[in-house]
Structure 1
Amino acid sequence: MNFGTSGGVAACDETEAARIVDAFLDAGGNIVDTADAYTGGESEQIVGRAVKGRRDQVVLATKAFLPQGPGPNDRGLSRVHLTRALEASLRRLGTDYIDLYQCHQWDDSTPIEETMATLDGFVRSGKVRYLGCSNFSAAQIVESQWAAQRTNATPFISLQPQYSLLARSIEAEILPACRKHGLGTLVWSPLGGGVLTGRYRRGAAPDAGSRMGRLKASALPMARAWADGLLNEPNLDIAGHVVETAAELGTTPAAVALAWVRHRPGVTSVIVGPRTLDQLHGNLAGLATDLPAETIEHLDEISRPAGAAIVNGMNTSPVAGPGRLGVAGEGR
């Protein structure tokens, strides 16, 4: 999401992006996820060039839904838009197939049967190998899988949901739906937009160069609202506990937050969005961190939504965590 300099919230130029991808693959990583809407398509172009020569090592994933122009067929999950979007993504990525093609959001204006039949055609043509979705509710997952079954089409195999100590709403219904219907999960924003790194403090304005500082200074109301939704009192309380836990364990707050997410029931993979090579190394170290059982229990407790019960290790509350967000997007 950060790759490119065409209006990204946290721009990363192509040279640094290539270093990040190379280091990630050298460390044993294999999934590189982007979307046609990231930095105006520049992200896909950079990713395509970065994996050239190592294409067979990469599970290349991208997404479609968000506007690509002003017209009524320039967005959504209709046959017209998805067909155009796939061809454009293939060109930008410089490849003749995409390993995981994902619906970025649900489309209320298109019958799900049309979407699933269109995606199935992509698989049958060899241009796409597997299908996934992002930011779908439990009901939308079920509707999609049933539609694929009814039309003898290819079903989804994965979901990209938001998940962190600050946003645990998927535990109530979405993770159980994924298990029931055979979807792996690639969770995004495990660091809560950077809040769980301990960079932000109560009563102090975020640094101008930080992610939250850039969001708060943005001309886009949605960006400012995103920052305000993250930097609230409950979230900062949780972040404070993470900082204290990291100090006790002799590690970083980011490592604690990533380790907690990685070990949660139902989580298949964790998406990180480094803007620099140093951030990547910190993320990789965090993903290799193991937490003591008592630490996990403590983090579970301090981040549990009010009124939530726990059944088989999963939160049954239908609401998001203390810092619940209503904005869809990849605030890695």
Structure 2
Amino acid sequence: MRYRYLGDTGLSVSELCYGSFNFGGSAKFLGAPDKDWAEFGTVDDDDVFTLINTALDAGINFFDTADVYKNGMGEEFLGAALKKVRDRVVIGTKGRWRITDDPNDLGASRHHLFAAVEASLRRLNTDYIDLYHIHGFDPRTSLDETLRALDDLIRAGKIRYIGVSNFAAWHLMKALSVSELRGLSRFVCYQGYYNLAARDLEREIVPLAVDQKVGITAWSPLAGGFLTGKYKRGERPEGSRLANATAAESAPLTDEEQAHDIVDVLREIAEKRDASIAQAAVNWLLAKPGVTSAVIGASKPHQLEDNLRAMEWTLSEEEVARLDEVSEVPAPYPYWHIRTVGADRKLPGDVYP
């Protein structure tokens, strides 16, 4: 296993982060009784511990969950499985979304965050959370209130580092400015949707994160399974995530035909490397600026073992460039202008949107 520092902290985390989104066979969402989240995949209860032990044996020390995952089951399973190694692992969880019908069980207010953190601590069976994310922007609560609440939770020893997920660039930059102005703890991590078939994060979030030394953890590095190569052009197998509208919307492809072209190149590279398409896709992501870790969500032992083998090799610069080319999408204004006009001042290693 390889490790990287998370943002500008001294915290070392594995390049592969194991996510618990699909842990648990079934769970009802209290605010929507007919919802069981099965379209995103499930892991039978007995298999969860086997998978986590395999990840630990391979050197993974970074685990991701959220209170909303399977209505808290993700946190409960992770807490039980990691209890004996708690001091050796980094657990990240999130709060913001509703998991009950309580009108205040929502958002990034002081009221909700204090309650959500306490509930997550109970489910995780721990007295501290290593990394706590705001799971999405809350337009109703001021960033000052959110950051003061998080800073108080850090001072109380409930959480150690804070991050965000699914924020716009201006949301994150404004939050970092508020932290600096008020002398509050700052966000050190951004978790976002990023893969070869969806490179939107590169427009603003990646340059911002690199400039401000905020680590990036990428969820759905395989685009909901599309970048494993299991789909053929024009086909959406029954029962697959691509065939399920809700699941497909959770990991959208920028352009499905282009995504198939990307898989074709991944397949050529993988065959030459005696590796899998998924391994090549994960390696591309880990080669990109600002990325700390790829959040994998393997639901079967063979999938996890394949993901782990991605740590045994890396792409060459030529292979990365080839994948960059096939996955490139036209840059909207002002990004094409920045690239063109600003090229005369660019230095090696500069990250341009």
Please report the TM-score for the alignment, with normalisation by the length of structure 1. 0.88
1:158-204 per-residue CA deviation (whole Å, 9 max, x = no partner) reads: 11111111111222221121122221111111111111110011122
Q: What residue number does 2:273 align with?
A: 249
1:239-279 per-residue CA deviation (whole Å, 9 max, x = no partner) reads: 22222322233211001101111111111111111101211
Q: What residue number does 1:282 align with?
A: 306
Q: What residue number does 2:220 align with?
A: 189
Structure 1 contact 256–289 (Cα < 8 Å) conserved? no
- Which of 170, 176, 183 is the aligned partner of 1:152? 183
The residue type equivalent to 2:24 in the other structure is G
Structure 2 contact 215–292 (Cα < 8 Å) conserved? yes
Does residue 60 of structure 1 match 2:91?
yes
The residue type equivalent to 2:61 in the other structure is N
SS in 1 for 2:84: coil
| Residue 316 of structure 1: how far off its partner (Å) | 4.3
**What pairs up with 1:15-164 in 2 under 5 angstroms?**
15-164=46-195
Q: What residue number does 1:297 align with?
A: 321
C-alpha change, 1:168 and 1:227, in structure 2 (3 Å) is: closer
- Deviates further, 107-116 or 181-190: 181-190
Gaps of 5+ in 1: 217-221, 318-332
Cα distance in 2 between the residues matched to 1:13 and 1:88: 23
**What pairs up with 1:131-280 in 2 under 5 angstroms?**
131-208=162-239, 210-213=240-243, 215-216=244-245, 222-223=246-247, 225-226=249-250, 229=253, 232-280=256-304
Please report the TM-score for the alignment, with normalisation by the length of structure 2. 0.83
Structure 2 contact 67–93 (Cα < 8 Å) conserved? yes
Structure 2 contact 241–248 (Cα < 8 Å) conserved? no
Cα distance in 2 between the residues matched to 1:161 and 1:274: 18
1:24-75 per-residue CA deviation (whole Å, 9 max, x = no partner) reads: 1111111111000001111110000000111011101100011122333111
1:59-115 per-residue CA deviation (whole Å, 9 max, x = no partner) reads: 011000111223331111011111111111011111111010110111111000000
The residue type equivalent to 2:207 in the other structure is P
Structure 1 contact 158–185 (Cα < 8 Å) conserved? yes
- Deviates further, 37-46 or 137-146: 137-146
The residue type equivalent to 1:144 in the other structure is A
- Deviates further, 20-29 or 67-76: 67-76
C-alpha change, 1:161 and 1:294, in structure 2 (3 Å) is: same
C-alpha change, 1:231 and 1:13, in structure 2 (3 Å) is: farther
Q: What residue number does 1:3 align with?
A: 23
- Deviates further, 2-11 or 96-105: 2-11
| Residue 150 of structure 1: how far off its partner (Å) | 2.3
| Residue 13 of structure 1: how far off its partner (Å) | 1.8
Cα distance in 2 between the residues matched to 1:93 and 1:143: 31
The residue type equivalent to 1:175 in the other structure is V
The residue type equivalent to 2:241 in the other structure is R
Structure 2 contact 220–251 (Cα < 8 Å) conserved? no
| Residue 131 of structure 1: how far off its partner (Å) | 0.7
Aligned length: 310
Aligned-residue RMSD, C-alpha:
1.9
Identity %: 38
Cα distance in 1 between the residues matched to 2:171 and 2:195: 21
